[in-house]
Amino acid sequence: MTITADYVIVGAGSAGCAMAYRLSEDGQHSVLVIEHGGTDMGPFIQMPAALSYPMNMPMYDWGYQSEPEPHLGGRKLAAPRGKVIGGSSSINGMVFVRGHARDFDHWDESGAQGWSYADVLPYFKRMETWHGGASEFRGTDGPLHVTRGPRKNPLFHAFVNAGEQAGYEVTDDYNGEQQEGFGPMEQTVYKGRRWSAANAYLRPALKRKNCNLVNGLAQKVIVENGRAVGVQIERNGRIETIRANREVILAASSFNTPKLLMLSGIGPAAHLREHGIDVVADRAGVGQNLQDHLELYMQVASLQPITLYKHWNIFSKAVIGAQWLFTKTGLGASNQFESAAFIRSDKGVDYPDIQYHFLPMAVRYDGKAAAEGHGFQAHTGPMRSTSRGSVTLKSSDPKDAPKILFNYMSTEQDWADFRNCIRLTREIFSQDAFKPYAGKEIQPGAAMQTDEELNEFISEHVESAYHPCGTCKMGAIDDPMAVVDPECRVIGVDGLRVADSSIFPRVTNGNLNGPSIMVGEKASDHILGKKMLPKSNLQPWLHPDFESTQR
């Protein structure tokens, strides 16, 4: 059985949904999206405060784990990816960060020409409707609604005030002109619901006659005479072929996109032969260059019973759930990450390289363990680790998970950076703004002071922030490690593109949902052969004294 469409997109995630919307927009082309996961309509996904549930549900998550990490005592770290309509935008923390302007300038300088901040800002603006007032840096009529939490808890303000008291900048919009500083955090929540890529882009697209969704497991890209002509999928136990009249586009995540390329014969030749796969295109970079953000939770006991811990019981959760179900308001309507910060770790660093998420509760991200009693925490970690990992095949069976090795903390600099994060955070929590609230340090605990003690804590407690990227790097055609060119075309195969977080040359500051959607938006114009949106001439703010001062 063969189904045909002009454009076949593999993966209904952040970038895939955006492309489904844009490629079907003018009604001239048929678009078909392949997604292995099912519906996203359950309350665990749609209710923002329930965010810790879907990423731990096999129904919604691919359930991947890293290999034993050699520099973290052999720990295997969770590596969730959304297996559901909306992909990881349906199971993530809903934090919206564009990345810093310099991140995209770095992409452009490293071979991804046409992806500088001036090039991508118009796409960030096109994709969003920002609910924070007028700003020339922000979008007003895009499909993705970006809002802020109510910040009713006084701890949200204590965090920003403490940052200011410690001598850092305050910013009213880290996604606007100035990322550096302390201020409100933004979320993809609209009218009390998770505003995933599925809600923003895919649902409107599927209402069009020329856009359809097929539920199945993509097994490989079919390449004939050097051109991608379709995708082989398994659906209801049967193997089917979906033909692409124009192009096949992979948007299956930083784990599944390189896996699919390799299953299709595109990747490091020796590795493919190991698994008995015929080589279609020898691309050494497929699956390499894996990057992520690691983070620690710095937890402090609260002297006042004002944290979310008072709702950490079955009765309170039921009340919050019921209020959300009937009115889409209350605590259930926010991800609870309502204050944030981006700071520089040292003088001489030209733009922020440490991020903070602040939460008025001391709890693990997976929701499994709350610290005893009232507390609050800051998630913190370095933004630009030099450690690089890889995604490789376990076997040639499409049903097997890929082999994921992040190679976290593989450089001395990584350890120094994390120790610095801990010490800078302690200083922030010791400011006067926290005097009415801050009790003892729960984690790491005040006794942990020496480099050796902090290293031990880091090794045991560091967790992924779930920002994997880079495994199909975009770069210049003559770069042997580049997988796609600056128009997202796979080098060495016609009719095939990749557009998701796997093409990032280097990880961006903050959470990756925003930049992933931007990639889908910009890639759509490349695919359709449109003129790019005119470059922006807006200039981002950089600290004028960054060379001589850390803050």
| Residue pLDDT, tens place only, 392-402 | 999 999 999 99
Class of domain 150-184+294-382+409-461: alpha beta
Count CA within 13 A, CB hemisphere, residue 167.
7
Average pLDDT over residues 376-392: 98
Q: Both ends of the chain: CA-CA distance in Å?
A: 62
Instruction: Give the position of tokens 């096109």.
Output: 126
pLDDT category of residue 371 using cuts at 50, 70 and 90:
confident
| Residue pLDDT, tens place only, 123-172 | 999 999 999 999 999 999 999 999 999 999 999 999 999 999 999 999 99
| Residue pLDDT, tens place only, 212-221 | 999 999 999 9
The tokens for 137 are: 């840096």
pTM: 0.98
Share of the chain above pLDDT 70, in %: 99
| Residue pLDDT, tens place only, 248-266 | 999 999 999 999 999 999 9
Mind giving me the DSSP string for 192-231? TEE--HIIIIIHHHHTSTTEEEEE-EEEEEEEETTEEEEE
- Give the number of other Cβ atoms within 10 Å of residue 133's Cβ: 8
**Residue 445, annotated as binding a ligand:** no
CA dihedral 21, 25, 30, 34 (to 10 degrees): 0
**Residue 446, annotated as binding a ligand:** no
Q: What is the pLDDT of residue 309?
A: 94
410/76 Cα distance (integer angstroms): 15
For the chain, give the mean pLDDT.
97
Name residue 295's beta-bridge partners: 463
**Residue 32, annotated as binding a ligand:** yes
* Architecture of the domain spanning 1-63+83-147+187-286+470-536: 3-Layer(bba) Sandwich (3.50)
Q: What is the pLDDT of residue 413?
A: 97
Average pLDDT over residues 178-196: 98
For the purposes of burial, counting CB atoms within 10 Å of the CB of 132, is it exposed (0-12), middle (13-18) or buried (19 or more)?
Answer: middle
Whether residue 357 is predicted with pLDDT greater than 70 in this model: the reply is yes
Active-site residue set: 467
**Residue spans in the chain of domains classed CATH 3.30.410.40:** 150-184+294-382+409-461
Whether residue 369 is predicted with pLDDT greater than 80 in this model: the reply is no
**Residue 87, annotated as binding a ligand:** no
Q: What is the pLDDT of residue 321?
A: 95
Whether residue 530 is predicted with pLDDT greater than 80 in this model: the reply is yes
Average pLDDT over residues 94-114: 98
Whether residue 122 is predicted with pLDDT greater than 90 in this model: the reply is yes
**Residue spans in the chain of domains classed CATH 3.50.50.60:** 1-63+83-147+187-286+470-536
Closest by Cα among 434, 312, 435, 298 to 372: 312
**Residue 389, annotated as binding a ligand:** no
pLDDT category of residue 365 using cuts at 50, 70 and 90:
low
The tokens for 394 are: 């376990």
**Residue 7, annotated as binding a ligand:** yes
**Residue 19, annotated as binding a ligand:** yes
**Residue 365, annotated as binding a ligand:** no
* DSSP H/E element including 548: none
Q: What is the pLDDT of residue 299?
A: 96
**Residue 11, annotated as binding a ligand:** yes
pLDDT category of residue 42 using cuts at 50, 70 and 90:
confident
Q: How are beta strands 238-250 and 2-10 bridged, if at all?
A: parallel
How many residues are listed for the chain in this entry? 551
